[in-house]
Amino acid sequence: GTVVLSVGTECVVRVLSSRDEGKTFTPPVVAFDAAEYPELGLGRRPPTRLLALGERLLLFGSGIKGSDAYPLLASDDQGVSFRTP
């Protein structure tokens, strides 16, 4: 099976994936870089949570407050690349 992990810092989130049940992993791919989304501001958490919905993989964050907007990225290639949906 496929295993996908996200590793985040304050500004950059990298994603690693494995197609052999975690025996080996791909090199980390930058899925999110806060410098590319200045409209989010410094008060937002980076998107580090992963959710699989069928073949689509979502990478999302959370707001500081419940009413805050949050970043959302989608991957249709098992975490190889991410885009805004």
Q: What is the pLDDT of residues 9-52, one digit of tens each?
A: 888 999 999 989 899 999 999 999 988 877 766 666 788 899 99
The residue length of the chain stands at 85
Residue type, 49: R
Alpha-carbon distances of 76 from 36, 41, 52, 68, rounded to whole Å:
21, 27, 10, 26
- The pTM for the full model equals 0.81
**Residue 20 corresponds to which tokens in the numbers above?**
């052999």
User: Tens of pLDDT along 68-85?
Assistant: 777 889 999 988 899 988
